[in-house]
Structure 1
Amino acid sequence: MTIAIRDVREHELDSVLALNNAAGPAILPLDAARLRRLYENAEYFRVAERGGALAGFLIGFGAQAQHDSVNFAWFRERYPDFFYIDRVAVASRRRGGGVGRALYADVQSYAELRYPQLACEVFLQPETDHALLFHGSFGFREVGQNVMTEHGIRAAMLMKPLCSYAWVRDTYGGMLPDLPWLQRPYAHLAAPPARLREAHA
Structure 2
Amino acid sequence: MTVLLRDALLADHEAIVALNAAEVRHTSAMDRPRLGELAALAGRHRVAIVDGRVAAFLLAMLDHVAYANDNYAWFAARYERFVYVDRVVVGADWQGRRLGSLLYEDLFAWASAQAIPCVVCEFNLVPPNEPSRAFHARHGFAEVGRQWLGAKQVSMQLAVPG
Give TM-score scaled by structure 2 length. Answer: 0.94
Q: CA RMSD in A?
A: 1.3
Deviation at 1:162, TM superposition (A): 2.5
Deviation at 1:64, TM superposition (A): 1.4
Unmatched tracts of structure 1, length 5 or more: 164-201
Residue 161 of structure 2 corresponds to 162
Identity %: 32
Give the conservation status (yes or no) of the 8 Å contact 2:109–2:161. Answer: no
- 1:157-197 deviation per Cα after TM superposition (whole angstroms, max 9, x unaligned): 0001234xxxxxxxxxxxxxxxxxxxxxxxxxxxxxxxxxx
Residue 39 of structure 2 corresponds to 39
Are positions 1:117 and 2:114 aligned together?
no
Question: How do residues 5-20 of structure 1 correspond to structure 2 at under 5 angstroms?
Answer: 5-20=5-20
Deviation at 1:68, TM superposition (A): 1.1
- 1:108-139 deviation per Cα after TM superposition (whole angstroms, max 9, x unaligned): 11111220011001111455101101101110
- Richer in strand (by share): 2
Question: How do residues 1-201 of structure 1 correspond to structure 2 at under 5 angstroms?
Answer: 1-114=1-114, 115-125=116-126, 128-149=129-150, 152-163=151-162
Distance 1:66 1:37 in 2: 11
Give TM-score scaled by structure 1 length. Answer: 0.76
Give the conservation status (yes or no) of the 8 Å contact 1:49–1:56. Answer: yes
Deviation at 1:91, TM superposition (A): 0.2
Unmatched tracts of structure 2, length 5 or more: none
Distance 1:4 1:125 in 2: 34
Q: Which runs of 4+ in 1 moved over 2 A?
A: none
